[in-house]
Amino acid sequence: MPDQQKIDEIKATLARARAVAVLTGAGVSADSGVPTFRGTDGLWRNFRAEDLATPEAFARDPRLVWEWYNWRRELIATKHPNEAHRALVELERRHERFLLITQNVDGLHRDAGSSRLLEIHGNIWTVRCTACKQIEDNREVPIAIPPHCRACHGLLRPHIVWFGEALEEEALDRSMGAVTSCDVLLIIGTSGVVNPAASFAGIAKAGGAFVAEMNLEETPQSAMVDLAVRGRASDTVPLLL
């Protein structure tokens, strides 16, 4: 089936849908110039993301971890939402029951205007005190290294779900609820290998939803979904409008 025919079928299905869920990953941010911070993109001073984004790394050397996060924040601060981000804001406006679930931590969906949004891995512009547990937005670029809580002077950490940490229970419950009850699930710009997001396609299909994947390359989800559209998110997602 040609991609335009697939796009038309997704549009028709969306027009009939009462509840829509969307899952986005690094491919959406990549179109804004945000590196994946994994693999070769994430190499920094010969450290891999997997070596730094862990509770153990932070306990061992919080200054080093914060130097890496400050580098990331400085990079992301120069980036802006793209056409895919903006198209998803419009899709949200058109559907009363809508939830955008993102694995991205760059805050670009929020910057674009998405409000029914669940950042399941956290947000790089949010910090959490390791002492009093207070959470607050912080847009300082550069940030003090290491930063300390204004309330209790405890050490701050990025409010991000690191490797080896579980998703917050509320985020997991809300995302599972949306995926279980949706009529349509759009999976955009994600490789589909990180759980629990990797399970969303199967859960939605089991609930009778129409599942479409929009990604540059084939993924482990591709054989399972109803339709797969190949291309950049910023090129394909706006076509759904």
**Among all residues, which ones are annotated catalytic?**
121
Burial of residue 224 (CB within 10 Å: 0-12, 13-18, 19+) is middle
Q: Which amino acid is at 68?
A: W
Q: Which amino acid is at 110?
A: R
Distance CA 45, CA 84 (A): 32
3-state secondary structure 178-236: HHHHCCEEEEECCCCCCCCHHHHHHHHHHCCCEEEEEECCCCCCCCCCCEEEECCHHHH
| Cα pseudo-dihedral 30, 34, 37, 40, rounded to 10 | 70
